Structure 1
Amino acid sequence: MSIRKVTIAGTNSGCGKTTVTMGILATLYVMGLDVQPFKVGPDYVDPMIHTFITGNDSRNLDSWMLDIDTVVHLFEKNAINADISIVEGTNGLYDGYDGNTIVGSTAHVAKIIKSPVILVVNAEGVSLSIVPMVRGFIDYDRNLEIIGVILNKVSSEEHYEALKTAIETGTGVKVFGYLPKMDEDELPCKHVGLVPEEDMNDLKKKIRVLVEQVIKTIDVDLIIKMSNRPRVSYLNATKFSFEQIKPPQKIKIAVAKDKAFSFYYKDNLELLKMMGAEIQYFSPLKDITLPEDIDGIYLGGGYPDFYAKELQGNKSFIQSIKKGIMAGIPTYAEFGGLMYLSQYVEKQNNEKANMAGILPGYCRTTQELSKSGYVDIEVTKNNVLSKKGYRIRGYEFCHSEINMLSDDVSRCFNVVKRRPDMEPIIWKCGYSIYNLIAVYPHLHLWGNTDFAKKFIESCNKYRMANSLAI
C-alpha cells in the first residue's frame, strides 16, 4: 500500500517554509482533501496552526526524542487514512539536534518515513547563484529524495521565470512555483494560541488570501501527483501493543485545555487512552471546579504568564485544584503547568501574579535560555510518573526558573544538556510533593512508554484506594 506524503523543508530558519506549508495545507483543504499534517521536532506552535487550518490534529515527528520505529509508527498510523500527508520541517534541512549531526533534522525524519522533499528557498536578491545553492542541498545526501523547489519572496514574474529555468536546467529538479514577497501584516499569525476570539475572522481572511496566492503561483496538483510513495516497513512492530497494561477499569484523567494551557503532543494523550484512560478536558481560566470523579490531572504547557491575571482571578478553581492535589490526586505538570502550581510568577518588570500555591516556590521570568534545548533525563527517585532508573529524552524551552522556598519538595529528575565541544550542563528537576510531579522539560511519552504506564498505574491505584474508602 502507498501513502501520499511530502515534506516541506527549508534551507534555513526564516526562509518561509512555515508560510509555504500553511498555504499548501489550506489549499489542499479547500480542494476537499483530507490532509494529515505533521511537524518535525518538538515545536508546539506550528502544529497548532496546522490543526487550525486542516481540522486534523498535527503530530510531531522527532527522531532525537523517539527511536526510528516509533517515528515510523506515529507517522504511518496517522497518515494511512488521509488523502495526503504534509510534513513541515524544522530549521535548515540538515540541521540536527546539536549542529554536528542530522539526527533530529528534517532530512533524518524524511529518510525514516521515506518522504519526498520540497525545498523552500528564499529568492530575495538572488539570481544565478541560487543554482549552486540548490545543487549543494541535493548533492550533500543523495539518499535523500529532493523532488523540487518552491521559491519565496520572488520580486516579479520575470524574476521567477529566470530562476525556474536556471534551477531546472542546472539541477534537474522541478520548481513547483513561488510566493511573492508579502508584508508581515498580510501573513497569518503564528501564535494561534494568543489570537483573541474577536481576531479569528481576520486570521481566517489572511489564510484565504494566502490560498488565493498559492493557487495562482504554486502547482499544487503536481505536488499531489508526485507525492505517492510506498509505506515503510517496521524493524519491530510488536512493541506498539499495549493491551496487557490496561487497567481493570477505565480511569479518568482531567487535562487542562484552554488558551493558557495548549501545549500537548496529541500522541501523548492518545497513548494514555490506549492504556485505558478517558480524557476529560477542563479550563483553569473558565471552570469553577475540577471535573468530578477524576483519577489524575495532566497540566500541560502554554501561555500561563500571558493569562496570569485571569488565572489568579479564578479563585474558585484554584481552591478546587489545590484541594484535589493535596488530597492525593496523581498530577503531572509540564512547564506552564509547573508555573501555574507555584506560589506566584514574577515577571522581569517585577510585576507579580499569584498562582495556585501548591508548589512551595515561585517562578521568575528571565531572558536567558541557557538550559533550553534537547535534554537527557534520568529518574533518581520514584514518583507518580516514573520509577528510579527510568530514562527519557525531552525538550526544554523556557524563559523562567523556579525558586523553591522549602526542602519538603523532592527532586526526582537528573537533567543533562549536552553541548558540542563543551562540558554538559546538569541540573535537578522533577519536583515532587503530595502525589504531584512538576517538570520544566516537555516529554514525548512515546520516547519511553513506561512513563505513561506508570502514570496510569498511579491513577488506577488512587481510584482503587478511593473505592475501598467508600
Structure 2
Amino acid sequence: MKKIIIAGTSSGVGKTTITCGIMRALRDMSIKVVPFKIGADYIDTTYHCLATDNTSTNLDEFMLNKNTIKRIFMQNMKSNDIAIIEGVMGLFDGYQDRDDYCSTASMSKILDSPIILIIDAGKMATSIAPIIKGFLEYDKKLNIVGIILNNVSTDSHYNILKNSIKKISNIKILGRIPKQKDINLSSRHLGLKLATEDAENEEKLKKISQIVKEHIDLQSLLDLSISSDLSYIPDNINKNYDITLAVAMDKAFNFYYKNSIEEFEKRGVKIVKFNTFTDNKLPKCDGIYIGGGYPELYARELSKNKSLIQDIKEKSEKNMPIYAECGGLMYLGGHIEIENISYEMTGIFDGISKMTPKLQRFGYCIAKSLYDTPLTKKEDILKGHEFHHSIFETNLDTAFEMEKELYDKSVKKWNGGYLYKNTLASYLHIHFASNPNITNNFCQNMLNYKLLNP
C-alpha cells in the first residue's frame, strides 16, 4: 500500500482541485485510492469522496496525538492501493508560526510520506527557481520528490519554468495544469461548498481528471509514492454499550469526522441517522448528536418542522444526552435571524443566532469545562476548533472557559458553550478520537438515560 502527500506552496494554489483530479484519474485506472485530508476541514473531504467513491479521513495534529494519527491512517489504508493525502495551507504553515506542528510538513514526518509540491506558476518565469530551491532546502528532513506546476499558459511558458527549475535541482517535474477558467470548485463563506451541493462538480471532476491524465505523469507519481508501515499502539476499548445514538445528517447538518462516528461504533453504539427536514420525530434513541453545517441557509425550512423540533425539546427536558456543535447550537437556540426575519428553532437555549459579514472566530482553541456535562467532568479539557460567521446572542451562563495559545501561553480568553440539563451545545468542533474519555462519558450518559427510560 503506497502513500503520497499533495502539498502546496501556499493556500489557493489549486491544491484541492488538482488533488481531486489526481484521485479521479487514478480511480479511472482501476487503482483503489483512499483519500485523506490534513487538518480539520470538513468540506475538502466531500470532494475526495466524490472523486474516489471512498470516504475521506481527516488527520489533525492539534486534536489527535501522533499515535492516534498513525492508528487511524494505517487502519484506513487496508484493502486499498494508494493513499493520496491532501495537505493544508502551505507546506510549512502550521499552528500559529510553528512549521513543526499542525503543518503538512510535520504530518509528512508522522506518516513517513513523500511529498509532491504544487506551485501556482501563472505569473512566474525564472523566478520560480529560487522559490523551489527555498522549499527544497528549508527542511532537508522532508522528502519532496516531485513538482506540479499550475496555471501554465503555453508550451513555451512551461519550457521556461522547467529549464529554470533544472538549473537548481534534479527534482522530478511531474507536469503542468494549463490555465483554465471553469474547473474551480464551488465556494461560499466557509470555503468550498460541499461537493454534493453543486451538480456541476461531477462534470468539473471529469474535466479536471482528463486534464490530469493528459498533462501529469501519473506513472511517475505512483513510482515516487512509497510503502512503509507505521508502528502504533492499538486502542484498548473493553466496553460494549447497548445503546443508540441519533445523528442529524442532511443538507443543513453534515460536518462530522468519519472517525468520530467510528469511535461510537467501536463501543457497540448503534448509529441511526435522522433528517431535520423530513422526519417528524426522532428515531428510537438514547442520545442525539447534531453536528455543524449550514442551518442559516435553510432556517425557514427547518422552522417549519414543528413536530421534530418539539420532539427534540421534549427529549432534552427528559434529560436525554444531547450534544450539538456550531450549526447544531444555532438549531438548539431560540431563533435564527436572516435578513431581519426571525425563524423559530428548538428553543432549548434561550438566544438568537445572527449572521455577520466577517468571520467571528477562526482556528484551534482549548475549552475547560466549568461543569459536568454529557461529554466532560468539571475541569476536563477539550481541544478543537471554531470557524463561524454567526454570533449567538444570549444572557445564559456559559459552560466552557475558552482560550487560544501561542508559545504555550494563553493569548486570548473568552467564555462559550451552553448547558441545559443533559444538553450541551457550543461553537467548538471536536474530534471524538482525541480523548477516549469524551466518548466514554457520552456513552455512559446515554446508557444511564436508557436504564431510566426503558
TM-score, with length taken from structure 1? 0.92
SS at match of 1:75: helix
- Which amino acid letter does the alignment assign opposite residue 397 of structure 1? F
SS at match of 2:443: helix
Say whether the 8 Å CA contact 2:46–2:195 is kept in structure 1: no
Sort the Cα spacing of 1:422 and 1:351 in 2 relative to 1 into closer, same or farther, 3 A: farther
Query: What does 1:133-152 align with in structure 2 at a 5 Å threshold?
Result: 133-152=131-150
More moved, 423-432 vs 61-70? 423-432
Does residue 92 (structure 1) correspond to residue 90 (structure 2)? The answer is: yes
Say whether the 8 Å CA contact 1:376–1:392 is kept in structure 2: yes
Question: Which residue of structure 2 lines up, in the alignment, with residue 416 of structure 1?
Answer: 403
Does residue 363 (structure 1) correspond to residue 364 (structure 2)? The answer is: no
Query: What does 1:344-363 align with in structure 2 at a 5 Å threshold?
Result: 344-347=335-338, 349-363=339-353
SS at match of 1:372: strand
Does residue 404 (structure 1) correspond to residue 394 (structure 2)? The answer is: yes
Question: Which residue of structure 2 lines up, in the alignment, with residue 193 of structure 1?
Answer: 194
Q: Per-residue displacement from partner, 1:391-445 (whole Å, max 9, x unpaired)?
A: 2210000111212245xxx532211022579962212223110210001110012
CA distance in 1, matches of 2:362, 2:223: 40
Which among 209, 233, 240 is matched to residue 246 of structure 1? 240
Q: Per-residue displacement from partner, 1:177-203 (whole Å, max 9, x unpaired)?
A: 1111111x333325443855xx52x32
CA distance in 2, matches of 1:351, 1:172: 61
Query: What does 1:204-223 align with in structure 2 at a 5 Å threshold?
Result: 204-223=202-221
CA distance in 2, matches of 1:165, 1:251: 63
Which among 442, 446, 450 is matched to residue 459 of structure 1? 446
Say whether the 8 Å CA contact 1:430–1:438 is kept in structure 2: yes
Say whether the 8 Å CA contact 2:4–2:83 is kept in structure 1: yes
Question: Which residue of structure 2 lines up, in the alignment, with residue 312 of structure 1?
Answer: 303
- Which amino acid letter does the alignment assign opposite residue 399 of structure 2? C
CA distance in 2, matches of 1:112, 1:129: 32
Question: Which residue of structure 1 lines up, in the alignment, with residue 365 of structure 2?
Answer: 375
Which among 280, 284, 291 is matched to residue 288 of structure 1? 280
Say whether the 8 Å CA contact 1:49–1:192 is kept in structure 2: no
- Which amino acid letter does the alignment assign opposite residue 433 of structure 1? Y
SS at match of 2:219: helix
Say whether the 8 Å CA contact 2:376–2:438 is kept in structure 1: yes
Say whether the 8 Å CA contact 1:371–1:425 is kept in structure 2: no
CA RMSD of aligned residues (A): 1.8
Cα offset, 1:215, TM superposition: 0.6
CA distance in 2, matches of 1:125, 1:53: 29
Question: Which residue of structure 2 lines up, in the alignment, with residue 22 of structure 1?
Answer: 20
CA distance in 2, matches of 1:72, 1:422: 28
More moved, 220-229 vs 88-97? 220-229
Sort the Cα spacing of 1:423 and 1:65 in 2 relative to 1 into closer, same or farther, 3 A: closer
Question: Which residue of structure 2 lines up, in the alignment, with residue 449 of structure 1?
Answer: 436
Question: Which residue of structure 2 lines up, in the alignment, with residue 227 of structure 1?
Answer: 225
Q: Per-residue displacement from partner, 1:87-128 (whole Å, max 9, x unpaired)?
A: 111111000111234300111111100111000001112111
CA distance in 1, matches of 2:170, 2:70: 29
CA distance in 1, matches of 2:97, 2:52: 32
- Which amino acid letter does the alignment assign opposite residue 241 of structure 1? N
Say whether the 8 Å CA contact 1:391–1:448 is kept in structure 2: no
Query: What does 1:95-114 align with in structure 2 at a 5 Å threshold?
Result: 95-114=93-112
Does residue 260 (structure 1) correspond to residue 255 (structure 2)? The answer is: no
Which among 124, 127, 149 is matched to residue 125 of structure 2? 127
Does residue 335 (structure 1) correspond to residue 326 (structure 2)? The answer is: yes
Q: Per-residue displacement from partner, 1:281-307 (whole Å, max 9, x unpaired)?
A: 111022111112x00100000010011
CA distance in 1, matches of 2:360, 2:274: 33
- Which amino acid letter does the alignment assign opposite residue 297 of structure 1? I
- Which amino acid letter does the alignment assign opposite residue 182 of structure 1? Q
Say whether the 8 Å CA contact 1:418–1:425 is kept in structure 2: yes
**Unmatched runs of 5 consecutive residues or more in structure 1:** none
Q: Per-residue displacement from partner, 1:442-463 (whole Å, max 9, x unpaired)?
A: 0012221211110011011111
- Which amino acid letter does the alignment assign opposite residue 381 of structure 2? R
SS at match of 2:417: strand
Say whether the 8 Å CA contact 2:325–2:425 is kept in structure 1: yes
- Aligned length in residues: 450
CA distance in 2, matches of 1:368, 1:187: 23
Say whether the 8 Å CA contact 2:360–2:389 is kept in structure 1: no
Say whether the 8 Å CA contact 1:379–1:413 is kept in structure 2: yes
CA distance in 2, matches of 1:251, 1:263: 23
CA distance in 2, matches of 1:187, 1:286: 32
Percent of matched pairs sharing the same residue: 38
Cα offset, 1:325, TM superposition: 2.0
**Unmatched runs of 5 consecutive residues or more in structure 2:** none
Sort the Cα spacing of 1:53 and 1:194 in 2 relative to 1 into closer, same or farther, 3 A: closer
CA distance in 2, matches of 1:189, 1:226: 31
CA distance in 2, matches of 1:245, 1:379: 25
The 4+ residue runs of structure 1 with deviation greater than 6 A are 420-423
Which among 159, 178, 181 is matched to residue 179 of structure 2? 181
Sort the Cα spacing of 1:421 and 1:300 in 2 relative to 1 into closer, same or farther, 3 A: closer
Say whether the 8 Å CA contact 2:21–2:51 is kept in structure 1: no
Say whether the 8 Å CA contact 1:187–1:210 is kept in structure 2: no
TM-score, with length taken from structure 2? 0.95
CA distance in 2, matches of 1:142, 1:132: 16
CA distance in 2, matches of 1:416, 1:273: 31
Question: Which residue of structure 2 lines up, in the alignment, with residue 161 of structure 1?
Answer: 159
